Structure 1
Amino acid sequence: MIGWRFEEATFAILMALYQARGPLAEDELAGLAFEVAADAAFVDAEDPSLRKTADQDVSQLLAQLALLGVVELDHGRAGLTPLGVAAFAGYLRRQLGATVPVLQDLFDETAEVVVAHAADAPQAARDELLTGWRRHNPDTATPQLLALAARTDDREHRKLAEAYARR
């Protein structure tokens, strides 16, 4: 079913995963791919057999992406791996000319900026960002994080600043 619009459906799935703060339900991704394919294929979007075929196509696509290490599948949910995030960000930059920030762009920022970004990130990206930022700023990271923890009203930011100041 999505074969008619494979590239567009794959892009829609990867963009949804890229923008998500965590894994998404596979059936949500299948619905998105079905919408993309049905919009362009002039098919009856109410036909349950077409939806079932689209669901199978998306399931196979996600399985292949998991074999490549781009997505992680877990109990009916899919999420981008760090490799998947990097690969898709690279695609957006190269193919679409989009400005896509990468973690290294934040290494010259203050603890406040880094912790604010890290607080909204999935755990793996959060750890990579804060650990990389500490490595990039070995002399100032701990004092900045402790100062941030002392002055912030945001409980999550304080918790992160304190945790990474001790590392």
Structure 2
Amino acid sequence: MTQPRQQHSDPQPDAAHSASRWEERYASVEQLWSGRPNDWLPELATDWSPGTALEIGCGEGADVLWLAERGWRVIGLDLSATAIGRLTRQAERLGISSRVTGRVHDAGDGLPAGPFDLVTSFYVHGGTEPGSLDLVALLSDAAARV
């Protein structure tokens, strides 16, 4: 099994620092994103039969909510407790909270076991900088959950 977090001997920002940055970003505004699902999701998945889904880096949950409104059971992962709180409240307002699970979670710590019928990750951040998520490893791990 591959490890999503890169290992470096240089000093690196830890997960708590990254989570803190995202938490500050979400907490600084009432709504950070548009509230609409990523354009690719409806384009690709409108006709798919509902099943179980995992959304990595779900933010305030527009993709999670879109899927759940169509009958999917969805787990949304994000570093920000504020973002997950917004997802959870919106799922309750829409009457779909029984199909939505929001988790404050660092994808670099691994992913839920699955299996899932669909795994999405439109906006997870990573890169080559020390402490960043290894996106190739993360997406390979995500694909193994399907």
Name the TM-score class by shorter chain.
under 0.3
Structure index of larger Rg: 1
Structure having greater relative contact order (Cα 8 Å, sep ≥ 6): 2
TM-score after normalising by structure 1: 0.25
Structure with greater strand share of residues:
2
Structure with greater helix share of residues:
1
